[in-house]
Amino acid sequence: MTDLLLFAIPGLFIILGALIVIFAKNPVHNAMGLVLTLTSLAILYISLNATFVAMVQMLVYAGAVMTLFLFVIMMIGVDKPEQTKEEIKGQKLLISGTLILLVSVVVFIGLENGLNWNLLFPQSQDTFEGTPSLLASAMFTSWVFPFEVISILLIVATTAALALAYEFRKRETND
Amino acid sequence: MSPEIILALIKPLLVLGLLLTNTIILIWLERKVVAGMQSRVGPDRAGPFGILQTLADAIKLLLKEQILPMKADKAMYLLAPIIALVPSFLIFMIIPLGPGFELTIGQESQFINMVGADINVGVLFFLAVSSLAVYSVVLAGWSSGSKYPLLGGVRASAQMISYEAAMGLSLVPVILYSGSMSMSKIVESQSGYLSSPIPIVDSIIGFIPNWNIFPQFLAFGIFFIASIAEVNRAPFDLVEAEQELVGGFHTEYSGFRFAMFFLAEYINMFNMCAITATFFLGGWLGPTFAGVLPPFLSAIMPTIWLGVKTFGLLFVYFWIRATLPRLRYDQLMELGWKRLIPLSIIWLMISSIVLGIREFGLPWS
């Protein structure tokens, strides 16, 4: 019972936040909807005993990334509501078709399994807590190569962004 | 009801009462201290030494009309003061106020932990929740629909992101040194006295308590500066610079909503000082005078020690506010990105090398 509540309440907030992200007209409201989704996701991680991942999720996504989003929105001053005109022809039709397909797949799985919760959410027997040392030993022993490759990728991306911005500024000052 | 549930209900209520009372004292104390440093009298009308002045101000704010600006974004405008207040209460829940003890009523015996919630990644929780506090300032600034608050909000988001990075990096060596991210374990790791393998040095430093501030003095400096910037206090109070921005992000707020921002600011300040004391000054550690004082007094001595350390740091905050002029915006950014962050990374490298040598010996031996 407690498990279901711990799953259902953050789950509802995740869906609510996602709906705000899609349907709200104001960019700041969209961003705050995303914050709601990310924070509720962190609570789901806590209910899965992964406190470290939950805290990192809050710190990095809800804290740093989304603050930067808001900062950019406020700096550029996108205060007017978004245009709701169709950009691609038949956009709305395609999206609603995809949505109907997805929902029918979910309903089909539900009917096939007779709404069996245990199958959709298999009960985990592991009760260990996701400590930082556990994560670190996994990351720096068996997964050290992907970890390093990702770090190089991120540095390349940062350098590229810097180079692009620098080129742009040099051209501006020359004119 | 099980004792755990009763405890979980009592603890937040106690924290609420403590923090609200504490804020009243804190505001009065700040006005008195700053007044003393500027050769003024300060509040002295309401009650003895003017101690009821804050209470009178609070009642005034509660009874005032709450104005909703015409151009305001209503939902965000109403949400911002709540977002300001909630993280400040959450952070206090993880500060260990003393060692746990066994409470026996009749036959029942229950272990009471003097922490709201003793989670194993307390340091990260503190950083995560304090990063959520940025939203209150940004949203309040943006949703007021007015120029000054917007400028205050933009400044705040830039400042708080910059100094959060320095603050987080300065805590990493402390975590490495203590070997844990749990606040209670960090306090316990600071018990005892400093020691050294060299006998002469050992006899000189042997009486100094084993607080993190001595081996991690640079981390303490960086953390202290970054924490002042994080709670937007002078000399880093560009967010609400009165001369340029009227009142900054809370210009358009009035009545109780303004009081909520004010409350959050002072609770955050108190939290920051208590956390600095926990990380660097040994938290609740201190002599309990177990034989000299009556047992009840020596049992609450740890909490009193934490209070003494916290209020000592708060006095430094007031002192800095009364002494230093405000930084210019470019100076603030330069201090954060070009001085504090590189310095904390260098310090992190030095302390990890020292810790590695202490743990595994020299690389060639």
Q: Which of A35, A39, A51 sits opposite B120 (nearest CB)?
A: A51
Q: Which residue of B has its CA nearest to A72?
A: B154
Q: Are B184 and B118 in contact (CB under 8 A)?
A: yes
Q: Is the pLDDT of residue B187 over 80?
A: yes
> Are A98 and A53 part of one and the same domain?
no
Whether residue B157 and residue A51 make contact (CB cut-off 8 A), yes or no, is no
> Are A151 and A120 part of one and the same domain?
no
Q: Is the pLDDT of residue A125 over 70?
A: no
| pLDDT value of residue A154 | 93
In chain B, the number of structural domains is 1
Residue B131 in domain: yes
Residue A15 in domain: yes
> Are A64 and A17 part of one and the same domain?
yes
> Are A2 and A65 part of one and the same domain?
yes
Tell me the C-alpha to C-alpha distance, in Å, between residue B59 and each of B36, B49, B62, B155, B250. 26, 19, 5, 31, 19
| Mean of pLDDT values over A164-175 | 68
Question: Which two three-digit tokens encode residue B297?
Answer: 């007094």
Percent share of chain A, pLDDT over 90: 14
Closest CA to B337 of B133, B131, B107, B166: B166
pLDDT in tens, B158-182: 888 888 888 888 989 988 888 888 8
Q: Which residue of A has its CA nearest to B175?
A: A132
- Which residues on chain A are in Cβ contact (under 8 Å) with B141? 74
Q: Which of B120, B138, B164 sits opposite A70 (nearest CB)?
A: B138
pLDDT grade for B358, boundaries at 50, 70 and 90: confident
pLDDT in tens, B317-327: 989 888 888 88
> Are A63 and A98 part of one and the same domain?
no
pLDDT in tens, B229-283: 888 887 887 777 677 777 777 777 888 888 888 888 899 999 999 999 988 888 8
Q: Are B231 and B272 in contact (CB under 8 A)?
A: yes
> Are A20 and A55 part of one and the same domain?
yes
Whether residue A71 and residue B161 make contact (CB cut-off 8 A), yes or no, is yes
| Mean of pLDDT values over B204-222 | 83
**The dihedral formed by the CA atoms of B257, B258, B260 and B265, expressed in degrees to the nearest 10:** 150
In chain A, the number of structural domains is 3
Element (H, E) at A152: helix A144-174
Residue A137 in domain: no
Q: Is the pLDDT of residue A127 over 60?
A: no
Average pLDDT of every residue of chain B: 83
Range of the domain at B275: 3-326
pLDDT in tens, B70-101: 877 888 888 888 888 888 888 888 888 878 77
Range of the domain at A97: 90-129
Whether residue B75 and residue A29 make contact (CB cut-off 8 A), yes or no, is yes
| pLDDT value of residue A155 | 93
Stronger pLDDT, A81 or A57, i.e. the higher one: A57
Residue of B124, B126, B239 to mutate when probing chain A, most A C-beta within 10 A: B124
pLDDT in tens, A129-138: 566 777 788 8
| pLDDT value of residue B346 | 92
Q: What is the pTM of this model?
A: 0.83
> Are A7 and A56 part of one and the same domain?
yes
Q: Which of A42, A62, A70 sits opposite B157 (nearest CB)?
A: A70
> Are A58 and A106 part of one and the same domain?
no
Residue A46 in domain: yes
Residue A138 in domain: no
Residue B182 in domain: yes
Residue B293 in domain: yes
